[in-house]
Amino acid sequence: MPVSKRLGGAAFAALVVAAIPVGAQVTGDAAFSQVEKGRDLAVLGDCAACHTAPGLPPFAGGVVLQTPFGNLVAPNITPDIETGVGRLSLQDFQSVMSKGIGKGGYHLYGAMPFTAYTKVSAQDNAAIWAYLQTLEPVKNKIEPNQLPFPFNIRASLIGWNLLNFTQGEFKPDPKQSPDWNRGAYIVEGLGHCGTCHTPKNLIGGDKNSQFLEGATLQGWFAPNITADPHKGIGAWSEDEIVQYLKTGANRFDIASGPMAEVVEKSSQHWSEADLKAVAVYLKAGRNGEAKAPAPLPAGDKLMAAGQAVFADRCMGCHVATGAGVPKLFPRLAQAPLVNSDDPTTLIRVVLAGSRAGTTRAASTGPAMPSFAWNLSDQDVAAVLTYVRNSWGNAAPAVSAKDVASLRTSLQP
């Protein structure tokens, strides 16, 4: 019996596959390519990161975003009339993307990165909208606004927008190459890289003067991805940036945590041209020009303790010189994340362990084990201080107090 059921399922699947080209011919090639373009753009912008929750149908919403002000839940963007975006028109969608204003005139919270999406062209929005129309409508009611008073009052966002939002489509810079302009369009617009990588002000707006200089959110530090040679990715070549985004790993680093999801769901599927464009743009960006700080002296007591912990617990994979093993064990020497002022991700990875993203090109997904059971707060502080001040690295010491507080928040 089960065998015949399975055969039936396969036959059904074959029918569905066969039905797609037929439907496309009915609505015309232009509409088909518009939908396909929208599908690619939805991947480029990684809409699924927030609008597809694990275990729920695609784009049915439900991912909870923890902000410093409270929780926001990404809405259902399938064309369901009651619980999705079935009542919205293309104009409504355009207003969401470019102005952050929903149907009926209410203001969206900045968790929906309209401050970046405002740069997306109207043509691209139309394609994304055409694609969203083809999704299966899913009934899944979501209350996006779960913020406490007074943040739950949307009118407060009028003031927020005045301070934090500049509306307007991306304007190419004629002095720059087409690649640079395409890269800028992706990074500043649909790719919304700054949502994680740009530091936030007290009310959660982007500090645009520090664009892509690294920020902490949801217990992770998204590192500096400017061309800064010490804290950023200035040492990475264009090809190495492409390799990282396409495969999740290059000779410097391996994507893990939220970036692993970005690579898995989004950037591994980008076109070669888009990957190249983003690399060109990031490489040509500001490089901070801040002078690298001096490392702690090797005779430091914390450094000596950290060196012992490193030799006994880390060296087996990350090797004595901090060089790691390309594509398998991340390099610690001259790594942007290691040299960041904020050690949140480093502490987290040592305590909880971490899993590399898996892509079609790099499917192994090597994992770092958890050391929370074996290393005390002081041990973690010492070993990270050592790592952050060896092999050309230089960054502030990590305190046992920082480790203790992250340990409590991650494992209450």
Partner 1 sequence: MRSSEVAQPNRRQFLSSTAIALLLGSTGRGLGETIAGSPPWKPFDASPPQTLGSGTWYFLTPDEVRTVGAITERLIPADELSISGKDAGCVEFIDRQLAGSYGSSERLYMKGPFQPGTPEQGDQFPLDPRQRYRLGLASLQAHCRETYQKAFADLPPEQRDQVLTQLQTGAITLKDVDAKAFFALVLQNTMEGFFADPIYGGNKEMVSWRMLGFPGARYDYRDYIDKHNQKLDLPPLSIAGRSEWRVKD
Q: Nearest distance from residue 383's CB to partner 1, in Å?
A: 9
Find the shortest distance in angstroms from Cβ 243 to partner 1.
19
To partner 1, the closest distance from the beta carbon of 378 in angstroms equals: 7
Nearest-CA neighbor of 295 among 333, 346, 347? Answer: 333
In angstroms, the CA 138 to CA 142 distance is 12
User: Can you tell me which residue has the tokens 């305190």?
Assistant: 399
Nearer to partner 1, 118 or 354 (CB): 354
Select from 271, 367, 405, 409 the one that contacts partner 1 (CB under 8 A).
367
Q: What does the per-residue mask of binding to partner 1 show for 379-408, with x meaning CB under 8 A?
A: x--x--------------------------
Where are any strands of DSSP class E within 30-78?
64-67, 70-73
CB of 307 to partner 1, least distance (A): 8
Q: Which stretch binds partner 1 (CB under 8 A): 20-28, 91-99, 188-196, 376-384?
A: 376-384
The binder of partner 1 chosen from 320, 325, 328, 361 (CB under 8 A): 320
**DSSP element (H, E) containing 354:** strand 354-355
- Span of 8-16, 81-89, 130-138, 347-355 interacting with partner 1 by CB under 8 A: 347-355
C-alpha distances (whole Å) from 218 to each of 68, 206, 351 are 9, 16, 16
328 sits near partner 1 (criterion: CB under 8 A)? no
Please state the closest distance from residue 311 (CB atom) to partner 1, in A.
9
When asked if residue 149 is in the footprint of partner 1 (CB under 8 A), the reply is no
| Three-state secondary structure call for residue 14 | helix
Q: Does 13 bind partner 1 (CB under 8 A)?
A: no
Q: What angle do CA 111, 356, 207 make, to 5 degrees?
A: 30
Lay out the site mask for partner 1 across 278-317 (x = CB under 8 A, - = otherwise): -----------------------xx-xx--xx--x--xx-
Distance of closest approach, residue 340 Cβ to partner 1, in angstroms:
21
Q: What is the DSSP string of 262-307?
A: HHHHTGGGS-HHHHHHHHHHHHTS----PPPPPPPPTT-HHHHHHH
Query: Which of these, 366, 363, 373, 264, lies nearest to 325 by C-alpha position?
Result: 366
DSSP per residue, 146-172: EPPTTTT-TTHHHHHHHHH--------
Residues pairing with 367 in the sheet: 355
To partner 1, the closest distance from the beta carbon of 320 in angstroms equals 6
| Complex with partner 1: residue 174 or 412, whichever CB lies closer | 412
Q: Which stretch binds partner 1 (CB under 8 A): 1-9, 84-92, 94-102, 358-366?
A: 358-366
Which residue from 39, 365, 391, 404 is in contact with partner 1, where contact means CB under 8 A? 365
Helix (H, G, I), strand (E, B) or coil at 245: helix
Cβ proximity to partner 1, 375 vs 403, nearer residue: 375
Nearest C-alpha neighbor of 396 from the set 287, 294, 252: 294
Q: Does residue 364 interact with partner 1 by CB under 8 A?
A: yes
- Give phi and psi for 249, each to the nearest 5: -150, 145
Secondary structure of residue 74 in the 3-state scheme: coil
Least distance in angstroms from the C-beta of 322 to partner 1: 13
Q: How far is the CB of 266 from partner 1 (least distance, A)?
A: 17
**Least Å from the CB of residue 324 to partner 1:** 14
* Closest to 376 (Cα-Cα) out of 339, 412, 350, 345: 350
Residues of this chain that bind partner 1 (CB under 8 A): 301-302, 304-305, 308-309, 312, 315-316, 320, 351-355, 358, 363-365, 367, 369-370, 372-375, 378-379, 382, 410-411
